[in-house]
Chain A
Amino acid sequence: GENVGLHLPTLSVQEGDNSIINCAYSNSASDYFIWYKQESGKGPQFIIDIRSNMDKRQGQRVTVLLNKTVKHLSLQIAATQPGDSAVYFCAENIKGYSTLTFGKGTMLLVSP
């Protein structure tokens, strides 16, 4: 079936670097996408979302980019900090559906 997947299982960066986490989706009917952060031993936490009528959305130190042509989603974290170390998941939703479909996740490791 169609699903959401991630290219990189682990990303290691130095503190202060910019991080880019990628996600591919295959369901062209998906119209809403969310990035979650999951710290060790905790539940996922909402970071930022984007609708399919947008290409880019910015938050505090985070930017989500959506490329519908190639069905690709990315999360950019500026000036990565050790506190950003976590697993990051993308999730998709189809309008009118009651559930999210999650990707496998990418672990981000930030070295001081």
Chain B
Amino acid sequence: NAGVTQTPKFRILKIGQSMTLQCTQDMNHNYMYWYRQDPGMGLKLIYYSVGAGITDKGEVPNGYNVSRSTTEDFPLRLELAAPSQTSVYFCASSYGDPSGNTIYFGEGSWLTVV
């Protein structure tokens, strides 16, 4: 069972570069999320989606964009990378809303902006 798959696992970006973190899930989940986790901190929500074609901002959306053209995929786009975006990024998914539906996380993508 693949679950939630994120790529790449590690990436180093230069300031001003752009990149896309890929996320796909094979559980037919409606809800998908992107979180970032800074060292020694909890997870902060960047964007989320409750279904294909629907996206919403989370707590820290600035500098990021998402799209949800299919149920399976939820890519996160970084435009004009900044050192403040150095973090570990987690994609997650759930069948429905969190109150009663387990959220499954990917393994994480480590991003360094230099």
Contacts and interface: CB of A to CB of B under 8 A. Distances in A.
Interface of A: 4, 9, 31-32, 34, 41-46, 51, 89, 93-105
Given A43-B108, A44-B105, A99-B48, A32 B42 contact: no
Contacts of B40: 9, 104-105
Contacts of B97: 93, 96-98
A45 B3 CA distance: 12
27 contacts: A31-B99, A32-B98, A32-B100, A34-B98, A34-B103, A42-B107, A42-B108, A43-B105, A46-B104, A89-B42, A89-B43, A93-B97, A93-B98, A94-B99, A95-B99, A96-B97, A97-B97, A97-B99, A98-B50, A98-B98, A99-B45, A99-B48, A99-B58, A102-B35, A102-B44, A103-B42, A105-B41
A51 B43 CA distance: 21
A29 B21 CA distance: 34
Interface residues of B, number: 27
Contacts of A97: 97-99
Interface string B30-73: 01010100001111110010100000101000000000000000
A98 B41 contact: no
B75 interface: no
Interface of A is mostly: loop
Nearest to B100: A32
Given A44-B90, A99-B33, 9 more contacts: A43-B108, A44-B43, A51-B99, A95-B99, A97-B98, A99-B48, A100-B45, A102-B44, A105-B41
A53 to B, nearest CB: 12
